[in-house]
């Protein structure tokens, strides 16, 4: 697994509970993952290139098909 793939994976794990609710969330993630905020943003953009979304799940209204 390349370093990039590993960073993607760690980014998914780090944001599983959600995006940090701090003024600079990408900086907070970068610090946690030992990288730069620019790299975090680039990776997030690349991973979600088809669909850059922040989803809000309303309780009782999440459906899987």
Q: Is 28 in the site for other proteins (CB under 8 A)?
A: no
Cβ 64 to other proteins shortest distance, Å? 6
- Please tell me the distance from the alpha carbon of residue 60 to that of residue 42, in angstroms, as a whole number: 33
Q: Is 15 in the site for other proteins (CB under 8 A)?
A: yes
In 27-62, which positions are buried (b, 16+ CB within 10 angstroms) versus exposed (e)? bbbbeebebeeebbeebbeeeeeeeeeeeeeeeeee
Cβ 60 to other proteins shortest distance, Å? 5
Q: Is 6 in the site for other proteins (CB under 8 A)?
A: no
Q: Is 19 in the site for other proteins (CB under 8 A)?
A: yes
């Amino acid at each position: 697994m390349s370093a990039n793939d590993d960073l993607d994976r760690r980014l998914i794990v780090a944001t599983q509970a959600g995006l940090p609710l701090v003024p600079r969330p990408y900086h907070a993630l970068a610090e946690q993952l030992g990288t730069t905020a620019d790299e975090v943003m680039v990776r997030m953009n690349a991973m979600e290139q088809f669909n850059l979304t922040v989803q809000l799940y309303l309780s009782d209204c999440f459906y899987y098909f």
